[in-house]
Chains A and B, each alone.
Chain A
Amino acid sequence: MNSTTETMPPAVRRVRAYFAPVNRAAKQPTIFDPAQQGMFALEAPPSPWIDLGWISGFTRKSGTKIEPVRAGAPATPQMQSRSAIDATVALQFASWGKLQMALAAGTQQMNLLKTQSGAVSAGSGGAAVPAVALQSGSTASVLQLGAAATNFAVGETVVVDVDYTGQLGFVGSGVSGAYVKSALTDVDYVRRVSMNVGRIAAISNGAITLEQPLLAGIPTSLMKVSGVAGFCDREGSTFFQEWSALFVAEGQQGERVLWHYPRLQAMASATESSAAGGGGLEMVRQSAEFRALPVADAVDGENVVCFRSFVVC
C-alpha cells in the first residue's frame, strides 16, 4: 500500500456498475472477491460480471437501526444492538440496454417479439413469428440457422431461448426473467422474458454473428431464435428481478472503492428522470432504486447485505 496516498480521500469522477446473475432456483448469488479481483480492468470485468456502464446519482442509504439497551435508574445505555438491518441503493443508468432496462424496471422485462402478420394486438406484443431452431455448431457468439438466417438482418436484436412447454417456477436461460405461477399457453413465453439477447453484427453462410456473446453462453439444441422489435415493461406486474451488483469508483491515484451487493431487488417501479441535453433537448435517464437482501459471509457466517472494500494498486 502506498503510504503517500492511503490517507487521501478518493477523488472520483464517476461510478461504474456491473451485473452478475443470481441463481434464483438455488438462491445462489454471484460473489465478488475484492482481494482477488479488486483491480480488474474496468472495461473487462472478470466472468461472469457484465459491464452496465457508467451510472450517475449513485446514492446509498442504510436503514439499519441501532438501539441502545438501557438499564438502571435513570436508564443508561449499557450496550447496543442492531434491531433491524436494511440498505437501499438509488442510481441512474446512463445507457438504455436490455439489462439496464430490466434492472430499472425491476420486474419482467418483455422482449417485443416480431409479430405474425395480422396478429391480434397485445400490450406486450402479439403472437410472434415462429422461432427458428438452432443447428449444430452454434456458439455463444455465432448462431447456425441455415437458410433461415436470411430472415434476419444485420443490426437486428434476437433472443435465444427454449420453447415454453408448461414449465412452472423461474424461467429464462442465464438469468431468470420471470416466475411462472400457473401454466401458460404461449410457446414463446420464455423468449418473451429471456435476458439471453444479442444484436446481429454479421450474417454469412447461414450463420449470424452477434456483437457480444450470449449471456447464457453456448446455446443448447433446444433453444430457438426470435427477432426482437424492442423491449417492454409493465407497471403492475408481479415478478421481482434480483441481481448481484458491483459498483466501482476509481480514485485519481489508482485506488478504488467497491460496493458489492450480492442480492439486489428493485424497490420501485420503472421511472425516468430528465437532464438538460443541450439544444433544448432533454436526456431521458432511467432511474432505479434497489433494496439489498442478505447473504451469509463464508468467512464467519455473518448475515450481511453489502460489502464495501477499499483497494489500492
Chain B
Amino acid sequence: MQNAKDTFYEMLRSRIAAANPERTIVLRGVTRPGVLVEENEFVSAVTVADCFRLRWIDASVNAENALPVATLTCEVLYETAGTAGNVGMDRGRLLTQMDAELAAALNAWPQKTAKQNYAALATGGSAAAMATNIWWSDVVLGPLVVKGDRFARTAKVTVMSCEEAGEL
C-alpha cells in the first residue's frame, strides 16, 4: 500500500504544480509545490494554509482477485484566509480556485498512473516503475467549514491498487 500512497502523492503534486506553478509552500527550508502528506511531516499545531494536505484514513484489501486489491481512502484538506492585500475578502474566491485545481487534477483523464516504488530514494537510488497501475475515483468535495478567519474544506478520493508480490 505504501507504494500506492507514494505514487498517488507524486501524481497529485505533479498535476497541481503543472496547473498552478505559483501554489508553493516552504517546508523545512525547501520551496516545493503546495501538496504535502501529513504523515510524512513533523507533527505541528500550525495548519499550513493555501496548500493541499493528504491524510490517509480507511484502508481495506480485497483478496478475492488474482492479485489482492487495496482500497485506500484519502482525505485532502485545504484552507485559505484569502490574501492580505484584499484583507481576506477574497477567501471564498481562493477556496473556489483550490476546489477547481483539485477537481481538475483528480478528475482529469487518465485517472490512473503507473505505480512506482520509491524505497531506493532513501539510499540515493531512483524510483522504480512497478508492473501495475494505481487508479482512483472522482473527488468528492465536502462542505465548507469556517475556521476563524479561514475557509476550509475536506475532499475525499478513493485510491486503489493491485498489491504485487513483495509489496508492503
Contacts and interface: CB of A to CB of B under 8 A. Distances in A.
Contacts of A4: 67, 131-132, 162, 164
A13 B132 contact: no
Nearest to B131: A4
Nearest to B161: A252
Contacts of A254: 133
A8 interface: yes
B111 interface: yes
B112 interface: yes
A273 interface: no
Contact of B160 (A2, A5, A9, A252): A252
Nearest to B114: A254
The B interface is mostly helix, strand or loop, or mixed, namely strand
A252 B135 contact: yes
A253 B133 contact: yes
Nearest to A42: B109
B133 A8 contact: no
B112 A252 contact: yes
A253 B66 contact: no
Contacts of A7: 66
Nearest to A252: B135
B164 A13 contact: no
A8 B66 CA distance: 6
Contacts of B111: 13
B161 to A, nearest CB: 9
A184 interface: no
A248 to B, nearest CB: 13
B65 interface: yes
Interface size class of A (residues with CB under 8 A): 10 to 19
Contacts of B164: 4
Given A13-B111, A252-B112, A8 B131 contact: no
Given A8-B162, A11-B160, 12 more contacts: A4-B131, A4-B162, A4-B164, A5-B67, A5-B162, A8-B65, A8-B67, A9-B65, A11-B135, A252-B112, A252-B135, A253-B132
Contacts of A13: 111
User: Which 3 A/B pairs are nearest by Cβ-Cβ distance?
Assistant: A252-B135, A7-B66, A4-B131
Nearest to B165: A4
Interface in A231-253: 252-253
Contacts of B133: 252-254
B65 A5 contact: no
27 contacts: A2-B131, A4-B67, A4-B131, A4-B132, A4-B162, A4-B164, A5-B67, A5-B131, A5-B132, A5-B162, A7-B66, A8-B65, A8-B66, A8-B67, A8-B162, A9-B65, A11-B135, A11-B160, A13-B111, A252-B112, A252-B133, A252-B135, A252-B160, A253-B132, A253-B133, A253-B162, A254-B133
Interface string B108-148: 00011000000000000000000111010000000000000
A2 B132 CA distance: 9
A244 B162 CA distance: 35
Contacts of A253: 132-133, 162
Interface in A1-22: 2, 4-5, 7-9, 11, 13
Contacts of A11: 135, 160
Contacts of B132: 4-5, 253
Nearest to A5: B132
